[in-house]
Structure 1
């Protein structure tokens, strides 16, 4: 538990430094490409790759903010050493973020596959030519709720282990759950653009990586879901597929050069510390060599330097 708490504190400090850094490193080119992804259906998938500390998280925050300004439904999935998400966990996270209403059929099948005591609900459509319709007239119902009377139940039992009494191969189960989810996603995106973010993709398992590109993202790339966009951020590159690459926006975040760091120090030090141009250039050259231009490390080093100056 202590390690988790410390990682949260580290994340808060890092995000605070990155917010200061984004005032200088605006990533205008990357944001322009993201806006192109949103505005056209030519590049439905965007992949941002970079080493750790290159500013992926700050770029993600800007892209999420852009979605909020446009009032677009969005969902974020992030892998970590604590949250190792498999295929079902990814689908559940996306559903919970986007809203369960469009994914009732997926939820029903997920419960059926994972809950030994679960009984699938039947969806009944009744067309009336004339007359009155009475539902459950005179019925005595116990151990149920109004949400179970008509339609498909929307609750999720949150079981994660596959039922032992069902002889359903894992591949078939993944295929059927993914199919149900994509049907719900198609319904949700029929009248509005939906944006999905996948962060720290290098931490997903090989099996999840193969499923994500082979099963989940393929309909988005192929145009079967024309109003869905996906953005993947991490150190893991996409599959080596020429056809896939032609329909994908690629971004490789570049390190800051000494001139960039010099300008950042000048901006951050304004009103805080008096630093000569010569000292600033020497410091920028040193930080460039020490940090290899990683924005997050540059921001941390500059903050430490300014604190040491104010303490003297």
Structure 2
């Protein structure tokens, strides 16, 4: 595993995540909101690295794989198809002679996609999805360990996936899946004031970091860093605390300083 690098001024977010992952927090939903370059993906990477080994961690990126079937298959494949007996039974029932769900990971993804998105009428599709999600939640609830599921780049999710996440997944995490915590990060996120699950979520807006000490602490963990505090302060203020821009300028300055 790569060396853990300091995150400038994101300690509180990490502490909150660890409590949530371990079931030691009242909320089980975390919504991380921020503009491009605010460090959302870096924060999720740190969550993954710091997540206790006793907690299963499933990362999902909505960019490129943004359907309900993709989300379901990602969780099932990551956690192990053998642990989703009820769900796999439903998939096999709906596929009927199609792709073998138990054959391999690719076959599992194809089978789930066929079960949900086959060329059938809308009412039947909705019925199948309802049956599959009920079986999916039932299998998740039976896990004997804590689970964390994260969704990054949420603004890239399809409308159908967003609707399902906000109406079904987050409701289940809040009311039914007491062993599951979920983190959603993006430039656009679900409404934290949702009347169904809003009381069970923490809204984390990521803003520019202008604290000089935070950036000095960050630099102390970078290799070959010998930048004086005044130089770090000038870069942080010059970039208006934008994490991605500050990090890039610090990297350039460190190379120039040590050359």
Structure 1 unaligned residues grouped into runs of 5+: 1-15, 121-152
- Deviations 1:224-267, CA, capped at 9 Å, x for gaps: 22111111111222234245221111211121116357636864
2:244 corresponds to which residue? 296
1:106 corresponds to which residue? 87
1:52 corresponds to which residue? 36
Do the aligned partners of residues 272 and 236 (structure 1) sit closer, same or farther apart at CA in structure 2, a change above 3 Å counting?
closer
1:79 corresponds to which residue? 62
Residue number among 10, 13, 22 corresponding to 1:30 in the alignment: 13
Question: Aligned-pair distance for 1:281?
Answer: 3.9
Matched-pair contact (CA < 8 Å) for 2:32–2:186: yes
Do the aligned partners of residues 272 and 263 (structure 1) sit closer, same or farther apart at CA in structure 2, a change above 3 Å counting?
closer
Per the alignment, in what secondary structure is the counterpart of residue 246 of structure 1?
A: helix
Residue number among 175, 181, 194 corresponding to 1:229 in the alignment: 181
Do the aligned partners of residues 66 and 87 (structure 1) sit closer, same or farther apart at CA in structure 2, a change above 3 Å counting?
same
Greater mean deviation of Cα atoms: 155-164 or 202-211: 155-164
Number of residue pairs matched by the alignment: 249
Do the aligned partners of residues 303 and 45 (structure 1) sit closer, same or farther apart at CA in structure 2, a change above 3 Å counting?
same
- TM-score by structure 2 length? 0.81
Q: Does 1:117 align with 2:65?
A: no
Q: Does 1:307 align with 2:259?
A: no
Matched-pair contact (CA < 8 Å) for 2:66–2:156: no
Question: Aligned-pair distance for 1:92?
Answer: 0.6
Runs (4+) of structure 1 moved beyond 6 Å? none
Higher Rg of the two aligned structures: 1
Residue number among 78, 102, 115 corresponding to 1:97 in the alignment: 78
Indicate the RMSD between aligned Cα atoms, in angstroms. Answer: 3.1
Greater mean deviation of Cα atoms: 102-111 or 29-38: 102-111
